[in-house]
């Protein structure tokens, strides 16, 4: 297993990954975003249910691919590797064997099943698809995608940071890559450097509701961990005036820019009076 992971790391050191942008209706987009968020949180069963629920109403080619690769990642997370391969094959079928993420998830499942030759062949397909893409910004997105997958699925932080460095070097004006690095710090409960990255993203022009929702979520998470409670009233009593100011500044900004989140609204009404 360790040999295979090492092979994967070296294999991608000299290749890029084809980034994917899915086109679909707003409702399907929101459902896909929810599913991806659940995958990030490693709530694999909930993610699988979310993607499965999309199948009846989200029927465009891009939506079908997004559903299939989302299900494949969730199934890999649940240890259902044979089913993950089936889901990956569905993504490959709908794209006529042009789904990078389909091949990627299939390779992970094959690796877990100790089908090492098949896994190498699937990764070779990833490289082949990548080499056909000459767009610099797309290659940067490819690296960022690989970074996220190494971080989330393989728990390989060195490779994740390496690929994100490559993404930023190729497309240094993309604030989403900076946010991604901040998110990685948050995942490690390292909040000060996370906000250095988030501040940088704001200065780069990413100053919308999404950005301030990310910031406020990180602020709240840091306070919940510091004071060992998720109860808003308890946090209000325990936070210092400075801490409350930092949390509420970002949260109020997100709400003023259009954030619609019942939990955040309730937190703001209880804490940010």
The predicted-structure confidence for 63-74, as pLDDT tens digits, reads as follows 999 999 999 999
Residue 131 binned pLDDT confidence (cut-offs 50, 70, 90)? low
The rounded mean pLDDT for the chain is: 88
CB 137 within 8 A of CB 176: no
The predicted-structure confidence for 42-81, as pLDDT tens digits, reads as follows 999 999 999 999 999 999 999 999 999 999 999 999 999 9
- The reported pTM is 0.73
**Cα-based angle 242, 207, 171 (whole degrees, multiple of 5):** 120
CB 252 within 8 A of CB 272: yes
The predicted-structure confidence for 149-198, as pLDDT tens digits, reads as follows 888 887 889 989 998 999 999 999 999 999 999 999 999 999 999 999 99
User: Which pLDDT score is estimated for 23?
Assistant: 60
23: part of which helix (H) or strand (E)? none
Q: Which of 92-96, 100-104, 196-200 has the lowest mean pLDDT?
A: 100-104
User: Which pLDDT score is estimated for 138?
Assistant: 86
Q: Which domains does the chain have, with CATH numbers?
A: 1-133 (1.25.40.10), 173-273 (1.25.40)
Residue 5 binned pLDDT confidence (cut-offs 50, 70, 90)? very low
Alpha helices in the chain (DSSP H): 2-13, 26-40, 44-54, 61-77, 81-94, 100-112, 116-131, 136-149, 157-170, 175-187, 191-203, 209-227, 232-238, 241-256, 262-271
- pLDDT value at 234 more than 80: yes
Where does residue 71 rank: exposed (0-12), middle (13-18), buried (19+ CB within 10 A)? buried
């Amino acid at each position: 297993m360790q040999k295979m992971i090492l092979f994967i790391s070296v294999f991608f050191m000299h290749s890029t990954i084809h980034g994917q942008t899915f086109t679909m209706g707003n409702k399907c987009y929101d459902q896909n975003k929810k599913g991806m968020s659940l995958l990030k949180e490693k709530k694999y069963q909930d993610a699988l249910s979310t993607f499965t629920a999309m199948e009846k109403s989200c029927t465009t080619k891009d939506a079908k691919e997004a559903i299939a690769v989302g299900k494949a990642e969730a199934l890999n997370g649940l240890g259902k590797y044979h089913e993950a391969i089936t889901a990956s094959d569905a993504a490959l079928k709908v794209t006529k064997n042009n789904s990078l993420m389909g091949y990627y998830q299939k390779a992970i499942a094959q690796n877990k099943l100790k089908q090492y030759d098949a896994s190498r062949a699937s990764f070779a397909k990833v490289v082949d698809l990548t080499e056909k893409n000459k767009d610099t910004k797309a290659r940067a997105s490819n690296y960022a995608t690989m970074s996220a997958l190494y971080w989330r699925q393989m728990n390989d932080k060195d490779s994740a940071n390496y690929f994100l460095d490559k993404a930023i070097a190729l497309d240094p004006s993309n604030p989403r890559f900076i946010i991604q690095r901040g998110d990685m710090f948050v995942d490690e409960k390292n909040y000060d450097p996370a906000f250095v990255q988030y501040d940088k993203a704001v200065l780069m022009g990413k100053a919308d509701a999404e950005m301030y929702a990310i910031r406020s979520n990180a602020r709240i998470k840091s306070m919940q961990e510091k004071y060992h409670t998720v109860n808003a009233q308890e946090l209000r009593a325990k936070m210092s005036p400075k801490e409350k100011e930092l949390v509420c500044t970002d949260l109020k900004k997100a709400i003023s820019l259009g954030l619609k989140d019942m939990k955040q609204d309730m937190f703001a009404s209880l804490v940010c009076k």
